[in-house]
Amino acid sequence: MYVCLCNAVSDKTIRSTVQRFQPQSIRELKCLVPVGNKCGKCIRVAREILEDELNRVPLYEEIA
């Protein structure tokens, strides 16, 4: 499903980015994936996906 239509960013792209880089805020996510930099309608859904994935993935400190 496309989350950001302006930049053609899918939920899979956001999920994989969060799993790989673990951004802790929507601001950090925006540095990695082009969401919310045009119309901004995707920010709410992107934030929900970010929070959902962060709750699933253990932090690097917990793994090491």
Structure tokens at 19: 């799993």
Q: What is the CATH number of the domain that holds 58?
A: 1.10.10.1100
Q: State the residue range of the domain holding 18.
A: 2-63
Structure tokens at 13: 């792209």
Residue 57 is predicted with a pLDDT of 72
Q: How many domains does the chain have?
A: 1
Name the burial class of residue 40, with classes exposed (0-12), middle (13-18) and buried (19+) by CB atoms within 10 angstroms of its CB. Answer: exposed
Element (H, E) at 7: none
Q: What is the mean pLDDT of the chain?
A: 91
What's the average pLDDT block by block, 10 residues per block, for the chain (64 residues)?
Answer: 96 96 95 94 96 82 60
Residues 6 or more apart whose CB falls under 8 angstroms from that of 60 comprise: 22
**% of the chain with per-residue pLDDT over 90:** 84
- Paired residues of 4 in beta bridges: 9
Residue 64 is predicted with a pLDDT of 57
